[in-house]
Amino acid sequence: MTQDKWIAVDRYITDMLVPPDAVLDAVLEASAAAGLPPHHVSPNQGKLLMLLALIHQARNILEIGTLGGYSTIWLARALPADGRLITLESDPQHAEVAHSNIAYAGLTNTVEIRVGKAADTLAQLATENCHPFDLIFIDADKPSNPDYLLWALRLSRQGSLIIADNVVRDGAVIEANSTDPKIQGVRRFNEMLGSEPRVTATAIQTVGSKGYDGFAIALVTSDESQYC
């Protein structure tokens, strides 16, 4: 199997099951025009995130890593009218583009973007309120994934869903001696998930327009993770 075939089949699935969406298309165009890197999830993956949030009946979502807000919009579309999504972004320019994209998608009242290093905005979030998130999507700087998992657990309750993007990285994740801090971050994250008694987790490999990568999915099964 080749990357060409993965792309062709991804396109086929998207043609069949992910109808063209003028808003999401415009969001990707605006992000590219603003010079943002093409690190957003694919349309098919965005719909998977939306479906997981719908299946889970999520009302409160936390996203770590906004970029132009593409995955944000998919996730926010799964929320009920009074649902809320908080998304964390360190790059002010990315946040500005996301702000405009989220407004274009009509989600300004649903989505709150917090600008700053996630290490800081997560610490701030944890001091604020006692509303654990139903779903947490981790998709920012990969070396920090281990820290983000610990924060995600603190901001969770029994039954919360934690999803992480990019846990396969073209297969490089199996290179134990990799000197790439991104790979080491993802490896440590996967190890922690595997040994963490408070979650039941797995990971799936994905191929398609985003190349060869994967998602980790973890259900918080313990009532001991909650921070308040």
Residues from 115 through 154 that contact Mg ion (CB under 5 A): 139
Our finding on whether 21 is near ligand SAH (CB under 6 A) is no
Q: Which is nearer to ligand DHB, 139 or 196 (CB)?
A: 139
Our finding on whether 165 is near Mg ion (CB under 5 A) is yes
Which among 24, 30, 120 has a CA at the least distance from the CA of 72? 24
For ligand DHB, what does the binding mask look like between residues 172 and 191, x meaning CB under 6 A?
--------------------
Backbone angles phi, psi at 97, to 5 degrees: -65, -45
Question: Of the candidates 10, 89, 134, 139, which one interacts with ligand DHB according to CB under 6 A?
Answer: 139
Our finding on whether 39 is near ligand DHB (CB under 6 A) is yes
| 111-115: strand order across its sheet | 111-115, 84-89, 60-64, 135-138, 161-165, 211-220, 199-208
Amino acid at residue number 136: I
* Cα distances (angstroms) measured from residue 201 to each of 78, 88, 102, 149: 22, 24, 31, 12
What residues make contact with ligand DHB under the rule CB under 6 A?
A: 39, 139, 165-166
What residues make contact with ligand SAH under the rule CB under 6 A?
A: 39-41, 65-67, 70-71, 88-91, 94, 117-118, 139-141, 144
